[in-house]
Amino acid sequence: SDVYFVDPQWLCTMLACVVTVQEKNPFQKNGFMELSALQLVLRDERFPHSLIKEFVSLMQKFEVILLLDENRLLIPSLLPPDEGKSCVVFPISVVLYPGISIHAQEL
């Protein structure tokens, strides 16, 4: 089904709550975040927490986040610039940027 935003600024504000600096989103660490923390990050009276699942799907669709499993997500834009020096084990292979991939065998 199609999704239309009557107030696109609201969407930008909600996305900025997730994809922002550590001071605004203290729940992410080096681009990784617990999915349960989204309720704490999305503290806007105009955001019904019953829609978090749909918001996660929307962020995945636009590749703002990547679900690593049912509890954790990756925010690629918040990865540290030297992401190749420290790694976390994933059960899958993940392509972060063109030419940069994380493979479970290499970690």
pLDDT one-digit tens code per residue, 19-44: 887 777 899 998 999 999 998 888 87
10-24, 25-39, 44-58: which has the highest mean pLDDT?
25-39
Phi and psi torsions of 34, nearest 5°? -75, 135
Tell which wins on pLDDT, 103 or 23. Answer: 23
Token pair belonging to 106: 């290499």
Q: How many residues are present in the chain?
A: 107
Q: Whole-prediction pTM value?
A: 0.69
Query: Could you give the CA distance from residue 90 to residue 77 in angstroms, rounded to a whole number?
Result: 18
